[in-house]
Structure 1
Amino acid sequence: MKLQILSDLRQGIIRYYYKYIIIFFVACTIAIQFFLKTNIYIKKYNIADETSVIDCFIYMFKGMKEYIPSTSNPFNVPFDFLLFNLILGLLIGYYPHKDLHGMGLQMMIKSKQRIFWWSSKCIWNMATVISYYAAIYMGILIAGMLFKTQITGEIHKELIHRMLGMEIVGYKQFEIIIFVGLLPIISSIAISMFQMFLSFLVHPIVSYIIIIILYIFSAFYMKWFLPGNFLMFYRNYIVNPNGIHIFPSMMVNMIIILISFIVGYFYFRNVDILGKE
């Protein structure tokens, strides 16, 4: 299994290193735009506080406010929310399916242990998500260093309120770290695991479309069982009294991950691999 994992990491991540460099530059560009905007708001409203990297994290993963349907409030999915998540969906989409009809099939037949192949793909999936977010976080940090911002976890409430209309009160530091650092990664792993399993059950393109629909539904409905909500800072209870909480969000993610892994295993244990070529 070790050889299988190393092969997946090499063929599925390291081989496509340039994609993560592109993601890094996209994140860095958006972060630079944010810090340029902060200078405008600081001067306009005479804000004394300096910006920090955590402010940029919140900006990057803000998503959209809870949507309340009305004739005067048309529904518009935020571009940056879709951009980051659909790029990740593209990274997840094709490699496992391609490997099943290539080197992966040979390794699966040779080892006679389909659980090793599927487990390796799940590890690759998680590693891909972590690498993706690492590129984003590095882009934010580099942009912050260029603008000599504070590398801290302190939120500058007045600035965030002026820029994003968020009222952030009564929070604990670890909650902010979870909502902008840990929860997006775990949620993306859950969604990516679900997408990967669906790509074998139906087709990579169909699974990608289903994930797009999931994101749109998550933007339209602020529900605890729609994991797309966990990727939007606007949707947590620190900002919205009716928003999502950490524990149920993590539970939903863990359930999606476990179900995707277990159902995927039973699927590959019984499917005719040679017949799917």
Structure 2
Amino acid sequence: MNRSNPFRFDLRNGIRFIAKKFLVLPLLVSLVCFEFMLRLRETASLNHQYAGAQPTLGDFAMYLFGGMKPYIPNPDEPFLFPVSWFLVFGICLFLTLYYPVYDRDTFGKMVIVYSGSRTKWWTAKCAWIIVATFLYFFLCWILLIINCLLYGGQFTLSVSPYMSDIFLLRETVPPDQWNVCHVLLLMPPLITSSFGILQMLLTLWFRPIICFLISAILMLASAYFCVPVLILNYAFCIRSNEILVDGFSFPSGIVYALALSLLCMFIGRHRFRNFDLY
């Protein structure tokens, strides 16, 4: 391996570092898909127009990445945190958190010497987080496809009207106008990779576990407060304006994710130049 090329070094060693941890994904995705089928049967039993409804790949994906509808504080409606959504995104953030810190404290010092640039090392780690995050969600999609086939679902990314009942939505765009393929495919990895870079930036000041706790608090805040400044709201696919009348815009989510990533990369590059490695 040519250590003068930090990204090639990370691509091999970084993926190897987290590969075994990916084994948790089949169990997680399968459990969420099983829960979705139970919810679908319950919904169909309460609403006979959905009797015999055949789930789609888009339905499985929406249940996995959808999160929860906007929460309006109400004493008669308790706040129910979306556990499966938290696990999917939280596990990804946790998986991409430790390798940059581990490499920085071990082999990274030699890589910096070989490459002759701390900026190259930092940029390579940012690129690695993006690649690892997209790989994580690619594997999620593979597992969703497998579960969809096992449950006899339709191989289409369209989202069925009964999903509004499962998520208890009220003011929605007419179901025949739902077009969420781009939201389901791009928003989860884009938003998560930007937060992964933010986590890595924070490790220049704090211990990794503290950085993850900050991410967890922001996920909780995003579930409770439906405001654009908490950009994790854009990772709640059910809150997209493709489904909700006053939902979040897909282009705005891309702009915010890219802006956060570039800002963290810029700040981190300057911070890492003066970071004490010894």
What is the number of residues matched between the two proteins? 272
Match of 1:71 in 2: 75
1:161 aligns with 2:164: yes
Report the counterpart of residue 31 of structure 1 in structure 2.
33
- Pairwise CA distance, 1:62: 1.9
Q: Measured at CA, do residues 44 and 219 of structure 1 come closer, stay the same or move farther in structure 2, by a change above 3 Å?
A: closer
**TM-score after normalising by structure 1:** 0.90
Is 1:152 aligned with 2:156? yes
Q: State how 1:77-96 maps to structure 2 within 5 Å.
A: 77-96=81-100
Which structure carries more helix by proportion?
A: 1
Moved over 4 A (4+): 170-173
Verify: 1:58 aligned to 2:62, yes or no. Answer: yes
Report if aligned partners of 1:171, 1:238 keep a CA contact under 8 Å in 2.
no
> Partner letter of residue 169 of structure 1?
P
CA deviation after TM superposition for structure 1 residue 82, in Å:
1.6
- Contact 2:239–2:247, Cα closer than 8 Å, also in 1: yes
Normalising by structure 2, we get a TM-score of 0.89
CA distance in 2, matches of 1:161, 1:76: 17
1:253 to 2:257 alignment: yes
**Residue from 11, 14, 25 that aligns with 2:13:** 11
What pairs up with 1:117-132 in 2 under 5 angstroms? 117-132=121-136
Q: Is the Cα–Cα contact under 8 Å of residues 199 and 205 in structure 1 kept in the other structure?
A: no
Equivalent residue of 1:248, what SS? helix
Whether contact under 8 Å (1:190, 1:254) holds in the other structure is yes
Q: Deviations over 1:110-148 (max 9, x none)?
A: 322111111111111011111211121111110011122
**CA distance in structure 1 between the aligned counterparts of 2:104 and 2:160, rounded to whole angstroms:** 49
How many angstroms apart in 2 are the aligned matches of 1:104 and 1:76? 42
Q: Distance in 1 between matches of 2:85 and 2:159?
A: 21
SS of structure 2 residue aligned to 1:196: helix
How far apart, CA to CA, are the structure 2 residues paired with 1:272 and 1:216? Answer: 33
Structure 2 vs 1, CA of residues 170 and 143 (structure 1 numbering), >3 Å: closer, same or farther?
A: closer
Write the distance in 2 (CA, Å) between the matches of 1:171 and 1:113. 53
Task: Classify 1:151/1:12 alpha carbon distance in 2 versus 1 (closer, same or farther; 3 Å).
Answer: same
What is the alpha-carbon distance in structure 1 between the residues aligned to residue 26 and residue 197 of structure 2?
Answer: 23
Q: Is the 8 A contact 2:67 2:82 kept in 1?
A: yes
Q: Determine if the alignment matches structure 1 residue 242 to structure 2 residue 238.
A: no
Deviation of 1:179 (Å): 1.7
**AA matched with 1:177:** C
Amino acid at match of 1:263: I
The answer (yes or no) to whether the contact 1:24–1:138 under 8 Å persists in 2 is no
Distance 1:234 1:207 in 2: 27
2:223 paired residue number:
219
Unpaired runs of 5+ residues, structure 2, are: none
**Structure 1 counterpart of 2:71, which letter?**
Y
Distance in 2 (CA, whole Å) between partners of 1:8 and 1:204 is 19
Q: Secondary structure of 2:77's match?
A: coil
Q: Distance in 1 between matches of 2:185 and 2:270?
A: 33
User: Residues 35-68 of structure 1, C-alpha deviation per residue, up to 9 Å, x if partnerless?
Assistant: 3443454455342542111011111122122111
Matches of 2:173 and 2:246, distance apart in 1: 14
